[in-house]
Amino acid sequence: MNKLVFTLVLLLSVLSFAQTTPQDSITFNPQQQLNAAQRLLSGNYGQAITVGAYGETTYNQPEGDNGELDVQRLVLLFGYRFDDRTQFVTELELEHTTEIFVEQAFINYSVGDNVSLRGGLMLVPMGIINEYHEPTTYNGVERPSVDNAIVPTTWREIGVGVTGRLPEQSLSYQAYIFNGFKSTVNDEGEITGFLKGSNGLRGGRQKAIQSTVDSPTLSTKLEYYGIPGLRLGLSGYFGQTQAADDIEEIDGTNIGISMIGLDARYAYRRFAARGQFIHASLSDTEEYNTLVDGDLGSALMGYYAELSYNLLPLNKRQRLFAFTRYENYDTHAKTDGALVRNDAYNRTDVTSGLSYHIAPGVVLKGDYQFRSNKLEDSDVKNRLNFGIGVWF
């Protein structure tokens, strides 16, 4: 509670002498869409300090169970311009009103018109949602499950790199060196693992909390925007996990990761579509599972396709999108050694609903999810969801 009070006081103090980013219409054109950090970097309009926020409140009702109401997150955004070339961006996230995290904190130095160097805590550019996860930028109350169990959103680590554009080729690029996932730790003489079969790499995110680094990882993304309304992305992430100093030489404490992502977004008048495919190959998982008594798969795979249509005329300021998303994600797409594939980890979600943008930066959402897996006689409960999202 003391941390929460301190953060709110800090926000009010900043607002007392800083103006917020001027309101702009949040575009539905994928080629022009910005995430929170990009809006801070581009939206200072001569001001030294820029502030903003996004957040969401949700209601989840699994079939036959009690519903849950939750302030899932409130993220406070701060940007500072030191001079025409140098800017600082940070995001402070409050999750479920009880936990505080630093989601981003990096310096952006503009080398030229289309090239910038960055260093600090940054989002790993993989897929769509990991970089564009503000609640007004995607359909559905909950983020796609592929971006939870496979990617895993919100994935951020400390690193350095370069980002920019090649305008004549209609390309943008990012390339970073990060610390990696944490795989194992020595817990009072017993080696404990952070990675598991049900959600793959998710438990290994270090989130800049006294992160350990042994061997750096490489993260890249290339995007093409040469066709009107279309944005295509190709992502890559390569390296090893990180283990504590006293056990890193033991076989199985680290695993190798090669992750590839393809994504696409398209919009034409009232129609929009998006999709992505993510595949991760993990090496040395047999040794890892033996060491920590785990069930980590040697390949993770997930994809989704989504169609949406704005039910309101284009001349209206508001937007009402009806959408359907189909996704399949398998954290046991492949297993090594004696580990048998768990069909419960091969899951399918079909989500249909409405996203009502009542004003730029404010969305009301409702959807129903049909959820299943490949396990015979499995009992996965469908879910009804409602939510309110804001971003400014």
Q: What is the pLDDT of residues 214-236, one digit of tens each?
A: 889 999 999 999 999 999 999 99
CB atoms within 10 A of CB 254: 26
| Domain positions in the chain | 2-391
- Closest of 266, 253, 240 to residue 294, by C-alpha: 253
Angstrom distance (rounded) from CA 51 to CA 169 = 33
CB atoms within 10 A of CB 245: 9
pLDDT at site 15? 41
For the chain, give percent helix, strand, coil, nearest 5.
10, 50, 35
pLDDT above 70 (res 16): no
Question: Across the chain, what does the average pLDDT equal?
Answer: 92
Contact 320, 355 (CB under 8 A): yes
pLDDT above 50 (res 11): no
The kind and range of the H/E element at 42 are helix 36-42
pLDDT at site 46? 61
Average pLDDT over residues 185-193: 90
State the residue for tokens 């953060």.
Answer: 7
Average pLDDT over residues 70-82: 96
pLDDT at site 179? 95
pLDDT at site 214? 87
Contact 291, 194 (CB under 8 A): no
pLDDT above 80 (res 311): yes
**DSSP-based three-state secondary structure for 365:** strand
Nearest 5°: the CA angle 95, 7, 392 is 70
- Closest of 275, 269, 243 to residue 256, by C-alpha: 243
Residue 43's pLDDT band (cuts 50, 70, 90): low
**pLDDT (tens digit per residue) in 159-187:** 999 999 999 999 999 999 999 999 999 98
Going by CATH, does the domain composed of 2-391 fall within 2.40.160.10? yes
pLDDT at site 26? 60
pLDDT at site 97? 87
Residue 14's pLDDT band (cuts 50, 70, 90): very low
Residue 23's pLDDT band (cuts 50, 70, 90): very low
List, edge to edge, every strand of the sheet that includes 190-193: 190-193, 182-187, 242-243
pLDDT at site 2? 52
State the residue for tokens 């260093």.
Answer: 119
- Predicted TM-score (pTM) of this structure: 0.91
